[in-house]
Structure 1
Amino acid sequence: MSKSNNSIPSQHMSAWEAFLRAQSRVLHVLDQELQEETGLSLAWYDVLVQLQKAGGSIRSGDLSSQLLISPSAGTRLIDRMGSKGFVERKACESDRRVVWVVLTDAGLDALRSATPVHLAGVRAHFTDFLDDDQASALSESLTPMARNATADEAE
């Protein structure tokens, strides 16, 4: 849906700017509230969520991809979380190039403690501003954008 000229209609530019402001501010306040209440950053919480979704373990590279960060940033993040006992690294027995990131009991406990705080924040700063129709429309608008951006990265 690209256009050949360099102009963007004002209502589209307003939507873009509102999206950027909302995304930045909401993520900032969610991170701040989560850290104040639980000591976990939003980035650490996201790692724990991804590990739980994956059944407790995931390949390090796949985790970085899901977190939308570089492999080196993922390694540093996992190192810091490992030093606090929330995750462990396990070498893959069948392929020594692969490292698994494993959720520990301490990590699962931290996730369980942080989830109600995070969900309350998401409600207060995001979902309470949307009725069901708006939530559906937003999801329908953003999903193809995310897919398109992901496809562009793969090329």
Structure 2
Amino acid sequence: METDTATRWLSDTEQIAWRTHLDVSRLLMHQLEKDLQPFGLTNNDYEILVNLSESEELRMRMSDLAAATLQSKSRLSHQITRMENAGLVRRVNCESDRRGLFAVLTEEGMETMRKVAPHHVASVRRHFIDLLDGPALADLQASLSPVARHLRETRKG
């Protein structure tokens, strides 16, 4: 392999940190998804339910929901169709914009959140939070905050 002298290759320590991050991210998301399966939900379903349950009037414009969940409008539309068929959400036309649509959490969707949220939180605790002590959690949050901030800004630009 030809090397590029301008490339700042990762040191051994950086490589290990990066690969550990990738490994933890993949394994954790896989485990959280597995723990949602008995409820017939995916991580994406749960994220949509959380966003809607925390939004004003339990509704969000589809474009805002796509942005919040980092999904394309097309992918979100397919996901919402599946969730509509399951009775968790419904689409409502936007009165002020004929082309706009809202995703709205149904009563069944809210009941699903009430039932699933305690199990999801227990899963997050079991597979992540409880494995780190208070100082480690604070250090992790402090370490990852600049990365999150940078990525949010990069998304906007």
Match of residue 70 from structure 2: 68
SS of 2:98's partner is coil
Structure 1 residue 39 displacement after superposition: 1.8
Q: Deviations over 1:3-46 (max 9, x none)?
A: x632122212211111111011011011111112x222221111
Could you say what the CA RMSD is over the residues aligned between the two structures, in angstroms?
A: 1.2
Q: For 1:36-55, what aligned pairs fall within 5 Å after superposition?
A: 36=38, 38-55=39-56
Unaligned 5+ segments in structure 2 are: 1-5
Runs of 4+ in structure 1 over 6 Å off = none
**1:72-151 pair list within 5 angstroms:** 72-151=74-153
Aligned amino acid, residue 90 of structure 1? V
Give the TM-score taking structure 2 as reference length.
0.91
Shift of 1:150: 2.1
Residue matched to 1:57: 59
Q: Distance in 1 between matches of 2:66 and 2:148?
A: 17
Q: Percent identity?
A: 34
After the TM superposition, which of the residue ranges 143-152 and 41-50 deviates more from structure 2?
Answer: 143-152
Distance 1:94 1:65 in 2: 20
Q: Is the radius of gyration larger for structure 1 or structure 2? A: 2
Gaps of 5+ in 1: none
Structure 1: distance between partners of 2:18 and 2:36:
27
